Structure 1
Amino acid sequence: MKEVLHRLERPLLYLMGPAYVVAGALHFVVPELYVQIVPPILPAALALVYLSGLAEMAVGVGLLIPRTRRRAAWATVALLVAIFPANVYMATHGVVIEGAPGGGDPSDLVRWGRLPLQGVLILWALWYTRPPTDTDRR
């Protein structure tokens, strides 16, 4: 099992990095979708959406660069923790995302499923916080 995971480590990294870049870019393309899930208790929702989008793009690029990978992985963990309140707000308040594809009303399964998914994403990012080995530097 350990060998299988080791073989998946690099391909999953090349999936993870670009996924964060694309997700971050979407914060600038359709910011109104993201503003709707920012908890109202937080100030400047649009600024937070842009800031989180910029952070997602930065960690995505950082993950792909061996020299910055560990710091970017730790930053990814911090980012996922920082955006967790938006997922909690979405789940607990039944947020309907106006303008989203498919009508914008995610099912309760999707709303609540995002919460444990954050844990999976954190574990995935933690995978890349380990010190690099000689084979990782190639």
Structure 2
Amino acid sequence: MPRSERSPLLLAGLLATAGVAHFASPRPFDATIPRGLPGSPRTWTYASGAAELALAAGVALPRTRRVAALATAAFFVGVFPANVKMAVDWRHRPTPLKAAAIGRLPLQLPLVLWARNVARSGEGRA
């Protein structure tokens, strides 16, 4: 399978894994939900997990790949505040945990670009 065909499936796998994790172990995700959002953090955790699963399915299917990949790029931008909150909240944790939380911040840009690239590779396909 050529690399260009593997990339969407890898992105779908990443999204599916993250989505399942939101349901299998929600507490760490609850802690990243910005306090200003209405409702309970668990609701947002489950909603974002469901969104990731839906995006994974959309990216995996060639017919919906372009739109789903664009939505994935927007999703990665939208969850950035949760990553910032995590980095701020974890600033006094042991160095490896603090480094992981801070390391997530610049990781968002390649994820957004990856999703955008998958969307571009899906253009003109039905």
Q: Please say whether Structure 1 and Structure 2 have the same fold, judged by a TM-score greater than 0.5.
A: yes
How far is the alpha carbon of 1:64 from its aligned partner? 0.9
Equivalent of residue 114 in structure 2, options 114, 119, 124:
124
Q: Which residue is equivalent to 2:89?
A: 93
Are residues 1:36 and 2:36 paired?
Answer: no
How far is the alpha carbon of 1:58 from its aligned partner? 0.6
Equivalent of residue 77 in structure 2, options 62, 74, 81:
81
Q: Which residue is equivalent to 2:58?
A: 62
Name the CA distance, whole Å, in 2 between partners of 1:109 and 1:95: 9
User: With structure 1 as the length reference, what TM-score do the two structures score?
Assistant: 0.79
Q: Which residue is equivalent to 2:45?
A: 49
Structure with the greater alpha carbon radius of gyration: 1
Equivalent of residue 104 in structure 2, options 111, 114, 123:
114
How far is the alpha carbon of 1:108 from its aligned partner? 2.7
Are residues 1:27 and 2:22 paired?
Answer: yes
C-alpha RMSD over aligned residues = 2.4
How far is the alpha carbon of 1:105 from its aligned partner? 7.7
**Unmatched 5+ residue regions in structure 1?**
1-6, 98-103
How far is the alpha carbon of 1:22 from its aligned partner? 1.6
Moved over 4 A (4+): none
Higher relative contact order (CA 8 A, sep 6+): 2
Alignment: residue pair count: 124
Name the CA distance, whole Å, in 1 between partners of 2:122 and 2:7: 16
Over residues 57-103 of structure 1, what are the superposed CA-to-partner deviations in whole Å (9 max), with x where a residue is unaligned? Answer: 01111111111001100110111111111100111222789xxxxxx
Name the CA distance, whole Å, in 2 between partners of 1:49 and 1:82: 13
Q: Would you tell me which structure has more helix in proportion to its own residues?
A: 2
Q: Which residue is equivalent to 1:100?
A: none
Cα distance change, pair 22–8 in 1 and its aligned pair in 2 (3 A): same
Q: Percent identity?
A: 37
How far is the alpha carbon of 1:109 from its aligned partner? 2.1
Cα distance change, pair 79–105 in 1 and its aligned pair in 2 (3 A): farther
User: With structure 2 as the length reference, what TM-score do the two structures score?
Assistant: 0.85
Amino acid at match of 1:68: T
